[in-house]
A = this chain, B = another copy of it.
Amino acid sequence: MELHGIFPYLVSPLDERGRVRADVLARLVRHLIDCGVHGLSPLGSTGEAPYLSPAQREAVVAATIAAADGRVPVVPAVTAFATAEAVAEAQRYRRAGAAALVVNLQRYFPLDRAAVRDFYRAVAAEVDCPLVLYANPALTGVDLTPDLLAELADLPNVRYFKDATGSTGRILSVLERTGGRLRAFAASAHVPLLVLQLGGVGWMAGPACLLPRECVRLYDLAVAGRWQEAWALQRRLWRLNEVFQRHALAACVKAGLQLQGWEVGAPLPPQRPLGADALAEVRAALAAAAGEPA
């Protein structure tokens, strides 16, 4: 199986007592699949994994997989400091039915390149599904440079990477060094259509929760080589990415979903809900995107 296309990074809706709202999540999952998304990624950055207990994380993954019901692949993100924790979590999600895994290493004490490499090797050795290596140094303190990604691409189940630095040239560097063996997913810091033009296979990110049809259409237009229409759409969608870059990601996506009527709750404290100005920016960006007639 090859992963490709639009993978919304799901939010994690909790009630006031900290219980996962599986009902809300299930409805959101079915809605997104109905809109044509190609897969789902719970517990990615948007999913606030560092703010969840192990039990909450498992409940989110289980609810997603149950609601997806085999219609699209579910690719949860493993976010961890310790190798042992990452391996255990990866195995749990895999047993729960994950098709593949995003793997996101966090740093407390500084890690040299060999330590980062060893972490990914250990996880890759202990799970039997494709892995998406996730580089988001601004949030995790760990960078996956093109050199390191090229080295890790030798592992048979290291198959994809997602770069969140916004430096689009890094994606070209990885594709060149790995002869295309490592495939790229866009993150919202990049212009997704540029990543697709570079040969990327899809886009994993929060905005697709809010604009699933438009994101799927962007991907379809790119695959069809209808670049002019694709660019017109991309330009309308970009404004939402800009909002996400200015404000905290989970707060933005949860706020946008609430504007759309989804009871996903606030970002988990001490994160704060968006203020009025930022909320207005989200609303305006969603309206701008809806200029799309398709």
Chain B residues whose C-beta falls within 8 Å of the C-beta of A294 in the assembled complex:
none
CB distance from A223 to the nearest CB of B (A): 16
> Contacts A115-B270, A269-B82, A272-B114; is A167 near B189 (CB within 8 Å)?
yes
Are A105 and B270 in contact, CB atoms less than 8 angstroms apart?
Answer: yes
Q: Is the CB of A191 within 8 A of B168?
A: yes
Q: Contact string, A48-60, partner B, CB cutoff 8 A, digits 1/0?
A: 1011111000000
Please state the number of chain copies in the assembly: 4
The docked-state distance in angstroms from the alpha carbon of A18 to that of B52 is: 22
Tally of contact residues, A, Cβ under 8 A: 61
Q: List 8 A-B contacts (CB under 8 A).
A: A45-B109, A52-B82, A54-B54, A82-B268, A84-B269, A109-B139, A110-B248, A166-B166
Closest to A168 in B: B168
Is the C-beta of A292 less than 8 angstroms from some C-beta in chain B? no
A213 CB within 8 Å of chain B: no
By secondary structure, the A interface counts as helix
Task: Verify if A239 is at the interface (C-beta below 8 Å from B).
Answer: yes
List A residues at the B interface (Cβ < 8 Å). Answer: 18, 45, 48, 50-54, 81-85, 105-106, 108-112, 114-116, 118-119, 122, 139-141, 146, 165-170, 172-173, 176, 189-191, 194, 197-198, 235, 238-239, 241-242, 245, 248-251, 267-272
A272, B118: Cβ atoms closer than 8 Å: yes
Q: List, in ascending order, chain B residues with CB within 8 A of A250's CB.
A: 109
User: Which B residues lie within 8 Å of A190 (CB)?
Assistant: 168-169
Most buried by B among A18, A45, A110, A169: A169
Docked Cα-Cα span, A67 to B189, in Å, equals: 43
Complex CA distance for A198 and B191, rounded to whole angstroms: 10
Please state if B272 and A115 are interface contacts (CB–CB under 8 Å): yes
CB of A152 to closest CB in B, whole Å = 13
Provide the residues of chain B in CB contact with A122, threshold 8 Å.
269-270
Q: Is the CB of A53 within 8 A of B51?
A: no
* Contact yes or no, A191 B172, CB < 8 A: yes
CA distance A258 to B139 in the complex (A): 34
Q: Name the B residues within 8 Å of A139 (CB-CB).
A: 108-109
Residues of B within 8 A of A176 (CB): 235, 238-239
With A114-B272, A168-B169 given, name 9 new contacts (CB 8 A): A18-B84, A54-B54, A106-B108, A118-B270, A146-B242, A166-B166, A168-B168, A168-B190, A173-B238
Q: Tell me whether A119 and B168 are in contact (CB under 8 A).
A: no
Q: Which residue of B lies closest to A120 (CB)?
A: B270
In the complex, what residues of B have CB within 8 A of residue A198's CB? 191, 194
